[in-house]
């Protein structure tokens, strides 16, 4: 595979979720003359049976629409599989359905384990790393596809000696944050057609132009394996021992209330805390071993530094041997902020087993920097350029610098 500009006629495997973004991406590639093959990843949503769908094979068989139960329309549900089939038929491309239920179980296990450890996970980033731009590449190789495309709002710049991951042109929809975990090799194999559009309306217009039935389908706002948004219930079903009452502490350590389990709370949470002090109260800390949460005012949420592990750099590591000026995004729904970063040695190897990490010092204190969340870095001079990222393990603590 090559990072050079893909040539029309090249075979591209498109990850199709049944939504408008990936459907428009497939339509664009068909229009540009690529040999497009659709792929729907069957993950196994709650209440659905995988025998309604066909496993991966070379016949390009999809699900039988007569067996589809139209219900929840989140990411990768059976209803979404039906939508993907209809889009593929409209575009005249084959569609493969891959049974990833077993592999997706790893992501659910990670999600539950992180809450049990007192951290706040980001399963969408892990799914991209492990499945969409991970295991899916093995299937691409089986059918001779040179590239994998998706409906993410981000861009690949192939104008230089090496490909670069860039923010999408639509700032409101940019998803470069969730793609930082891809390797340099994966960047050379990626195609992100809709990242070049400035608005979601333009993307919907592409889908409508091709008479795709999903052109006005609402965006999914849920975690696909928690369709009712009751993540605490999912955690408790997997780890019932976590359903234990604990103490709520204030910043001085005084007991000010009781809670039903630390896994039900996230850093920065205000609603449902159950403590009234005459001013806004937030969750500012969690202790999974003692099953306590700490609450305080908004000032207690501010952090000046953090340490992150499982570092994945998309540029030369030597650039971070000493403090480097960057922009850092520490949550999905926030804008990158000025900071300086350097390489450090982090003891915890993290979920992926990759060692190495970074220490981050923000130019100004940041609100609700949370262990377990992903952290993406952008170039200080070119704010659209993704330099890499890591996973936050501690806040307001420093570690020894690598020599």
Six token digits for residue 205: 């217009």
Catalytic residue among 76, 127, 306, 401: 127
The number of folded domains in the chain is: 3
Within this chain, do residues 263 and 378 fall inside the same structural domain, yes or no?
no
Between CA 156 and CA 1 the distance in angstroms is: 15
Task: Label residue 252 exposed, middle or buried (CB < 10 Å: 0-12, 13-18, 19+).
Answer: exposed
**What residues contact 327, with CB distance under 8 A and at least 6 apart?**
336, 337, 338, 339, 377, 378, 379, 380, 383
pLDDT tens string 215-266? 888 877 667 788 678 889 999 999 999 999 999 999 999 999 999 999 999 9
Between CA 74 and CA 78 the distance in angstroms is: 9
Within this chain, do residues 54 and 146 fall inside the same structural domain, yes or no?
yes
Instruction: Kindly give the pairing relationship between strand 357-367 and strand 337-344.
Output: antiparallel
Within this chain, do residues 25 and 132 fall inside the same structural domain, yes or no?
yes
Helix (H, G, I), strand (E, B) or coil at 132: helix
Q: What is the CATH number of the domain that holds 111?
A: 3.40.50.620
Last residue within a domain, chosen from 160, 188, 209: 209
DSSP 60-84: -----GGG------STT-HHHHHHH
Look at the block and give the residue holding tokens 């850092």: 328
Query: Residue 39 catalytic?
Result: no
CB 396 within 8 A of CB 367: no
Within this chain, do residues 262 and 309 fall inside the same structural domain, yes or no?
no
pLDDT tens string 323-346? 999 999 999 889 999 999 999 887
Structural domain of residue 259, as residue ranges? 244-296
Within this chain, do residues 107 and 253 fall inside the same structural domain, yes or no?
no
Catalytic residue among 75, 76, 224, 306: 224
Between CA 225 and CA 162 the distance in angstroms is: 36
Six token digits for residue 350: 């993290």
Between CA 309 and CA 374 the distance in angstroms is: 10
Six token digits for residue 312: 């994945």
Between CA 199 and CA 191 the distance in angstroms is: 19
CA-based max dimension of the chain: 67
Q: Using the predicted structure, report yes or no on whether residue 22 has a pLDDT greater than 70.
A: yes
Between CA 306 and CA 29 the distance in angstroms is: 41
**Alpha helix locations (H) across 216-335?**
231-238
Q: Please report whether residue 400 resides in a domain.
A: no
**Region 365-383 average pLDDT:** 95
Query: Dihedral sign, CA of 270, 274, 276, 277?
Result: negative
**Region 17-33 average pLDDT:** 95
Dihedral (Cα; 284, 288, 293, 298), 10-degree rounding: 10
Mean pLDDT is lowest, of 68-77, 164-173, 301-310, for 68-77
CA distances from 155 to 8, 93, 192, 217, 218 (A): 18, 24, 6, 23, 23
CB 313 within 8 A of CB 320: yes
In this predicted structure, what is the pLDDT of residue 103?
Answer: 83
Within this chain, do residues 291 and 309 fall inside the same structural domain, yes or no?
no
CB 375 within 8 A of CB 357: no
Between CA 21 and CA 24 the distance in angstroms is: 5
**pLDDT bucket at 347, cuts 50 / 70 / 90:** low
Provide the edge-to-edge strand list for the sheet that holds 255-259.
255-259, 246-249, 292-296, 282-287
Within this chain, do residues 92 and 157 fall inside the same structural domain, yes or no?
yes
Q: Model pTM greater than 0.75?
A: yes
Mean pLDDT, rounded, of the chain: 86
CB 176 within 8 A of CB 169: no
Query: Dihedral sign, CA of 222, 228, 229, 233?
Result: negative
Q: Please report whether residue 39 resides in a domain.
A: yes
In this predicted structure, what is the pLDDT of residue 77?
Answer: 60
Q: Please report whether residue 221 resides in a domain.
A: no
Six token digits for residue 16: 């199709």
């Amino acid at each position: 595979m090559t990072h050079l500009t893909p040539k029309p006629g090249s075979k591209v495997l498109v990850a199709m979720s049944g939504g408008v973004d990936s459907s428009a991406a497939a339509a664009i590639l068909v229009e540009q003359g690529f040999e497009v093959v659709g792929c729907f990843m069957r993950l196994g949503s709650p209440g659905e049976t995988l025998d309604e769908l066909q496993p991966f094979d070379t016949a390009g068989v999809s699900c039988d629409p007569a067996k589809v139960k139209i219900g929840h329309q989140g990411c990768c549900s059976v209803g979404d599989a039906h939508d993907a089939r209809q889009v593929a038929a409209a575009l005249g491309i084959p569609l493969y359905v891959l049974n990833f239920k077993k592999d997706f179980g790893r992501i659910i296990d990670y999600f539950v384990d992180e809450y049990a450890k007192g951290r706040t996970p980001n399963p969408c980033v892990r799914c991209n790393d492990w499945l969409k731009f991970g295991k899916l590449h093995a299937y691409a190789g089986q059918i001779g596809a040179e590239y994998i495309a998706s409906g993410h709002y981000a861009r690949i710049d192939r104008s230089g000696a090496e490909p670069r991951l860039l923010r999408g042109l639509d700032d409101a929809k940019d998803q470069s944050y969730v793609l930082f975990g891809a390797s340099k090799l994966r960047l050379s194999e990626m195609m992100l057609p809709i990242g070049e559009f400035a608005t979601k309306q333009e993307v919907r217009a592409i889908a409508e132009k091709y008479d795709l039935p999903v052109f006005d389908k609402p965006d999914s706002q849920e975690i696909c394996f928690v369709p009712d948004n009751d993540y605490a219930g999912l955690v408790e079903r997997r780890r019932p021992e976590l359903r234990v009452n604990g103490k709520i502490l204030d910043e001085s350590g005084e007991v000010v209330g009781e809670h039903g389990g630390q896994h039900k709370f996230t850093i920065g949470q205000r609603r449902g805390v159950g403590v009234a002090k005459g001013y806004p109260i937030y969750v500012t800390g969690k202790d999974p071993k003692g099953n306590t949460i700490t609450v305080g005012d908004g000032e207690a949420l501010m952090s000046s530094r953090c340490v992150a592990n499982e570092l994945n750099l998309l540029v030369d590591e030597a650039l971070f041997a000493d403090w480097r000026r960057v922009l850092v995004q520490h949550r999905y729904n926030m804008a990158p902020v000025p900071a300086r970063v350097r390489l450090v040695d982090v003891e915890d190897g993290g979920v992926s087993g990759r060692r190495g990490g970074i220490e981050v010092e923000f130019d100004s204190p940041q609100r609700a920097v949370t262990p377990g969340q992903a952290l993406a870095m952008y170039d200080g001079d070119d704010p659209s350029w993704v330099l890499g990222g890591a996973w936050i393990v501690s806040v307001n603590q420093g570690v020894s610098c690598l020599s």
